[in-house]
Chain A
């Protein structure tokens, strides 16, 4: 399966600031996704990152809060904007080579907001 690198692996941020998380894959993939895992909880899809076009957001998530870029088939970024303590979570990138292939996950970014 693809090797997925997420950066940073963890960070502690001040409220009101923004952080950009990077997801790099070692091979071209069709599908890239961003998930959030709140403390002790399951995973929730934030958005599907579409190459060359705007991301598709799930209900409850908006572009102003979670802008996403996907400039090519191996790279995507998620920005968490104007952070508050409620944004403290693990943010995970996942990829699938094609629509019919299973998703594989990066190790996640552990984000704490003070």
Chain B
């Protein structure tokens, strides 16, 4: 079945550092890809999405590009802030809207 693999965490960075969280997927069709963020004690928020190959999703300084040739959707941000500390989930869906999540990556940003 479909699956999503994220880089293992936790990830700890200093403020203003460059962030990359790797995400690769396995799917039989042409999935839509998502990044969700979960702040402490909260539910999931949709961060960005891409629905077809070479699409770039972006929001709040975060970006991810749908790479069909490498089956990847890596999350990047040029300069992280303390407020970006959260758990980040990569996910895919196709057809019937069932979301398949990666294991999540806990990000901590130190001032």
Q: Which residues of A contact B (CB under 8 A)?
A: 1, 6, 31, 33, 35, 41-45, 48, 58, 92, 94, 96, 99, 102-108
Contact = CB atoms under 8 A, between A and B. Distances in A.
Given A105-B44, A107-B43, A42 B103 contact: yes
Given A92-B43, A104-B46, A105-B43, A99 B96 contact: yes
Contacts of A106: 43
B60 interface: no
Interface of B: 32, 34, 36, 42-46, 49, 89, 93, 96-99, 101-104
A64 B41 CA distance: 29
A44 B100 CA distance: 8
Given A35-B99, A102-B46, 4 more contacts: A33-B99, A45-B98, A48-B97, A96-B97
Secondary structure call for the A interface: strand
Contacts of A45: 98-99
19 contacts: A33-B97, A33-B98, A33-B99, A41-B103, A41-B104, A42-B89, A42-B101, A42-B103, A43-B89, A96-B97, A99-B97, A102-B46, A102-B49, A103-B46, A103-B93, A103-B99, A105-B36, A105-B44, A106-B43
